[in-house]
Structure 1
Amino acid sequence: MKNTLFDKIFRDSDGKIVVAQMPNLPLIIWIAASLLKLVFPTGVVNTGLDALAFGSLFTWAWLELFQGVNYFRRALGLGVLIGVMASRTVGIDALGSFGL
C-alpha cells in the first residue's frame, strides 16, 4: 500500500481513517464542568469549575498534540491548545463572548 499524504493525515497505525473518537476522560470532565458552569453562573463554585474545565481541555489538547493517532488529530490538538491559551489571554469565555 502506497503511503499518500491523505493516509499520513487521516489514517491511524491500523490503516483506519480517524477523524473523531469517543471522548476520553479529560474531554468528559471538560464537558461536565462546562455544563455545570451553566448551573452555577457565579461564585466560588463557578471559579472552581472554570479552572477544572480549562485544565481538562488543556490536558486533552496536549495529549492529542503529542499522542494523537494521526496528523489530523495532532493538528486538532494544536488548534485547541492555541485556542484555549488565546481565550485566557484575550479574555474570551467558553461561549465565545468577550469578558469586557
Structure 2
Amino acid sequence: MQQQEGRRPMTQPSASPVLRARDWLFRDRRTGAITVAQWPNLPLWLFFGLMLAAWLARGAEPAATWLSLAADVALGWWAIDELVRGVNPWRQLLGLATLIGLATLIALRSGG
C-alpha cells in the first residue's frame, strides 16, 4: 500500500544508486510518498465484480462470455489509466504489463 511519508524530496544525488533508483521508480511525483500499490479504483472494482459474476455464471452461455468480455474491458480501462496517469514509473509499467498480458490472453482465447 501507499507509504505515507509526507512531502519528502527525492533522495540526494550523492545517495547510493539503489536509493536513487528506488526513488525514481516508486516515489509519487505529486506527494513524494513511496507508492507501490493503491486501493482499487472504479475500473478495478468493476473488473473484480465482473470476474466473480463470470465465474458464478460459468456454463450459462452467453452470459458468462459477456461478463468475461466486460471484465476484460474494465481491466483494459484500468491499465490504460495507469499507463497514462500513473503516479510513478512503477505504476505506469504495471499498466503497460497488464495491457500486454491482456492482449496476449485475448489473442490466445481467439485462437490467434
Tell me the matched-pair count: 93
Deviations 1:43-72, CA, capped at 9 Å, x for gaps? 121121011101000000000011000000
Residue 83 in 1 paired to residue 101 in 2? yes
Q: Which residue of 2 aligns with 1:67?
A: 85
Q: Which residue of 1 aligns with 2:4?
A: none
**What is the RMSD computed on CA atoms of the aligned residues?**
1.7
Structure 1: 5+ residue runs without aligned partners? Answer: 93-98
Please list, as runs of the form range in 1=range in 2, the aligned pairs for 1:34-73 lying within 5 A after superposition: 34-42=51-59, 43-73=61-91
Q: Which residue of 1 aligns with 2:26?
A: 10
Which structure is larger by alpha-carbon Rg, 1 or 2? 2
Report the TM-score, using the length of structure 2 for normalisation: 0.77
Report the TM-score, using the length of structure 1 for normalisation: 0.86
Runs of 4+ in 1 over 2 A off after TM superposition: 1-5
Identity of aligned residues (%): 37
Query: Which residue, 42, 66, 75 being the options, matches 1:25?
Result: 42
The amino acid of 2:105's aligned partner reads: S
Structure 2: 5+ residue runs without aligned partners? Answer: 1-8, 14-19
Q: Which residue of 2 aligns with 1:96?
A: none
